[in-house]
Each structure stands twice: as structure tokens, then as C-alpha cells.
């Protein structure tokens, strides 16, 4: 009988990190409550404004997912060293590669799926509350594109960001959040002072924003998966992410509790 250490490692993250699903649930509840208040207030949007609350809900939940992903990655490997639980987890027959990759799977696979499910559920509730005047067809038509966006931009395009944060989480003895962003700021400042350019800052900005020229995601209203997969920026980012993850694995293997 196979033990499936990767599956159980991901389940461990779900058990230990409730913010993965609690944060989207709270944001979804706030959006629905605000929608209810707007409906009881008697506000009747024009035909062109009917889809705006649903788009706002999707954008807010995606932003929440990205924020939860950042906070999770920064804490993922640092937390087990701080509370010394790393001693217990290392005593189990689970490799460092499996542990680190299971933590990477949370922002790249689990959170996008949770975000999509929360968005669909929230928009469904809003559509039911709106009644017959709800734009059912236009809202439901965005769900496949939203899933595409989450599985491309949030999963693949953000991979080097998540991998870098996991590397810092495995390395830093304290204040991992500061160490995650201080080197990046320093590189940008040095480039600006020494060369008078801002290429590094622009590159980071494009990466964080999802760079729609690279991603060709649903925010543009259409699917272009082959165009997205053919972009060199995607593959360079994945190679950088692989290097960061390999370094994070080595650090977890060699470092003990703080």
C-alpha cells in the first residue's frame, strides 16, 4: 500500500494553515453582505453596471489569494524552525524535497482552486439574491476564464515569487518578511544609483502584476494558452523558481530549529 507522502504533506498544510480557506471565506462573506446592503438600499444599477459587483468580487478574492500566498510562503519553512516542530517532521520518513514541494503546491495549486471555488460560490449567491435581473449568462461565462487566469498567472507566472519567499523562509533566523523584500529593494536602488535605470524594478512590477502581455489571461477576455506557454519570460521564471526551490531544500536539510 502506497503511503502517498506528497498527498499527506499537502493535507498537513491544510490542517495547520486555516487561513488558506478562512481568509477567502471571510472576504466572500463581506462581499455578499455589502451586496445585500446595496440591494436593500434600493440601488438599481444600469444595464452596463450589472456585472460590476461580480467583477469586483472576483478581483477582491484574487487579491486575497495573492496576499495569503505571500504570507503563507514567508512563514511556511520559518515557522516550523521557530516552534521547533521541524524536529518532529524530520523524524518522519518524508524527504525535504517532498516537504518543500508540498508547501509550494499550496500557493500554486490549492489556493487558486480555493479562490476559484470561493468566487463561483460568491457570485452564485449574488446572482440568486439579484433574482431575475441578474446577468447569469455573462457572469457564468467568466468562470472558465477565471480558472484559466488562476492556473496560469497565479500558478505558473508567480512561481519565482513563491519560490523566492520559500527560500527566504528557509534561510532567515528572524524577520523573514523584511529579508524577503530588503534585497530586492537594495538591487533596485543600486541599479538606479549606479546606472540610472530601473529595469529590475520594472521586471518585478510586470511579474507581480501578472504582465498581461505575457499571460494573455482572461482579463483580456480570451484564451491564448499556446501564446502564454511560448513566452520566454514564463520559462525563465520557472527556471529561476526551480533554482530557488533547490536552494530551499538544501537549507531545510542543513538547518535546525532557531
Give me the mean pLDDT over the 213-224 stretch. 48
Confidence band, pLDDT 50/70/90 cuts, at residue 43: low
- Lowest-confidence pick of 38-52, 60-74, 142-156: 38-52
Q: What's the pLDDT at 44?
A: 61
Q: Does residue 221 register a pLDDT over 50?
A: no
Q: Output helix, strand, coil percentages for the chain, rounded to the nearest 5.
A: 80, 0, 20
Q: Does residue 218 register a pLDDT over 70?
A: no
Q: What's the pLDDT at 215?
A: 44
Q: What's the pLDDT at 48?
A: 60
Q: What's the pLDDT at 73?
A: 95
Q: What's the pLDDT at 91?
A: 84
Cell numbers at 52, concatenated: 460590476
Q: Does residue 46 register a pLDDT over 80?
A: no
What is the distance between the alpha carbons of residues 232 and 209, in angstroms, rounded to a whole number? 17
Contact 144, 183 (CB under 8 A): no
Four-point Cα dihedral 110, 112, 115, 120, nearest 10: -110
What is the distance between the alpha carbons of residues 63 and 59, in angstroms, rounded to a whole number? 6
Query: How high is the mean pLDDT of the chain?
Result: 86
Q: Does residue 216 register a pLDDT over 60?
A: no
Contacts of 87 (CB under 8 A, 6+ apart): 256, 257
pTM of the model: 0.87
Cell 516550523 sits on residue? 80
Confidence band, pLDDT 50/70/90 cuts, at residue 2: low
Give me the mean pLDDT over the 27-47 stretch. 80
pLDDT in tens, 65-106: 999 999 999 999 998 888 888 888 888 888 999 999 999 999
Q: Does residue 222 register a pLDDT over 70?
A: no
Within 10 Å of residue 186's Cβ, how many Cβ atoms? Answer: 10
Q: Does residue 220 register a pLDDT over 80?
A: no
Confidence band, pLDDT 50/70/90 cuts, at residue 135: confident
Q: What's the pLDDT at 214?
A: 44
**Residues of the chain with pLDDT > 70: what percent?**
89
Give me the mean pLDDT over the 146-169 stretch. 90
Amino acid at each position: 500500500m502506497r503511503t502517498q507522502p506528497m498527498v499527506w504533506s499537502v493535507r498537513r498544510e491544510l490542517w495547520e494553515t486555516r487561513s488558506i480557506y478562512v481568509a477567502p471565506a471571510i472576504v466572500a462573506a463581506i462581499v455578499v453582505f455589502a451586496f445585500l446592503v446595496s440591494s436593500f438600499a434600493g440601488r438599481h444599477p444600469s444595464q452596463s453596471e450589472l456585472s460590476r459587483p461580480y467583477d469586483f468580487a472576483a478581483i477582491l478574492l484574487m487579491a486575497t489569494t495573492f496576499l495569503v500566498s505571500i504570507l503563507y510562503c514567508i512563514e511556511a519553512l520559518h515557522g516550523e524552525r521557530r516552534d521547533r516542530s521541524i524536529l518532529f517532521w524530520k523524524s518522519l520518513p518524508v524527504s525535504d524535497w517532498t516537504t518543500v514541494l508540498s508547501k509550494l503546491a499550496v500557493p500554486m495549486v490549492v489556493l487558486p482552486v480555493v479562490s476559484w471555488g470561493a468566487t463561483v460560490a460568491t457570485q452564485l449567491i449574488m446572482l440568486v439574491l439579484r433574482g431575475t435581473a441578474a446577468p447569469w449568462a455573462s457572469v457564468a461565462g467568466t468562470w472558465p476564464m477565471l480558472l484559466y487566469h488562476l492556473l496560469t498567472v497565479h500558478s505558473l507566472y508567480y512561481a519565482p515569487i513563491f519560490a523566492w519567499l520559500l527560500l527566504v523562509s528557509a534561510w532567515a533566523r528572524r524577520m523573514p518578511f523584511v529579508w524577503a523584500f530588503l534585497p530586492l529593494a537594495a538591487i533596485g536602488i543600486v541599479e538606479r544609483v549606479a546606472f540610472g535605470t530601473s529595469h529590475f524594478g520594472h521586471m518585478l512590477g510586470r511579474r507581480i502584476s501578472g504582465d498581461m502581455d505575457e499571460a494573455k489571461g482572461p482579463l483580456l477576455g480570451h484564451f491564448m494558452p499556446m501564446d502564454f506557454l511560448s513566452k520566454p519570460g514564463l520559462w525563465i521564471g520557472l527556471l529561476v523558481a526551480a533554482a530557488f526551490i533547490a536552494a530551499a531544500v538544501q537549507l531545510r536539510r542543513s538547518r535546525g530549529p532557531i
